[in-house]
Amino acid sequence: MMTTSSDTSPVSLVTGANKGIGLEAVRRLIGAGHIVYLGARDADRGRPVAESLGARFVQLDVTSDESVSRAAALVAEEQGRLDVLVNNAGITGPFRDVHDYTADDAAMVLMTNLVGYVRVMQAFLPLLELSSDPRIINVSSGLGSFGLLNDPSRKESTAGQPLYAASKAAVNMLSARYAKLLPGIRINIADPGLTDTDLTRVPGHPGAGLGHSVEHGSDAIIAFATGGPETPTGAYRDRDGDLPW
């Protein structure tokens, strides 16, 4: 049976949060006074990290209906609501010559980066709608921007990664449409920018050895999650401000 938490601290959930940008977002949200659920597929990796930060661990695989439903049930039982959802879990997919990509490659990337976001949002909508100020932050990328693709002054214009970029362009449209359909929830899109994480250190990644810190990479997420009444909905931003669609 669902019970509403008497604690006035905001309740947040971050997916894909046992390392990298997600972990930094957890750390900063805890610092802002939130009760934070650290979501990760692997309990052996996620639980110790959550305990070290003072977060609550929840096993959450965004590609599994059962896993996401269990996570939502846990938060409902323990808190009775959710104030902030950060959809962060994602994969880059394989790095290949463009001639060598397969339909299975595309399905794998989209199942995590797009379908996973939908799965998590739908499961947690009932809890978000019990919040007095619900927020969803969908982590995207500048690679999903048509404006940046066509701006030769930006590094996004020369990057490859067509499957990853397509998944993030889809996340942008998904988020913008959800923001219109759910005006009671602030739904925004955060671009971390090129950030030094495990995702950018894989062989063949064009940003290997480059990128700013995870703190800078989480700036837009935290701004959307903790901003005041002026926080918009349907915005697409990095740490420096609005991005072209």
**Helix (H, G, I), strand (E, B), or coil: what is residue 116?**
helix
164 is catalytic: yes
Q: What tokens were used for 161?
A: 């990664």
Q: How far apart are CA 151 and CA 158, in angstroms?
A: 9
**Helix (H, G, I), strand (E, B), or coil: what is residue 111?**
helix
CA geometry: angle at 197 spanning 193 and 199, to 5°? 90
Q: What tokens were used for 174?
A: 């998904």
Asked if 142 and 243 count as a contact pair (C-beta separation under 8 A), the reply is yes
236 is catalytic: no
Q: How far apart are CA 10 and CA 188, in angstroms?
A: 18
**Among residues 117, 164, 178, 236, which one is catalytic?**
164
**Among residues 37, 117, 168, 178, which one is catalytic?**
168
Asked if 9 and 35 count as a contact pair (C-beta separation under 8 A), the reply is yes
- Phi-psi map region of 20: left, alpha, beta (phi>0 left; psi -120 to 50 alpha): left
CA distance from start to end of the chain: 42
Q: Which residues are catalytic?
A: 164, 168
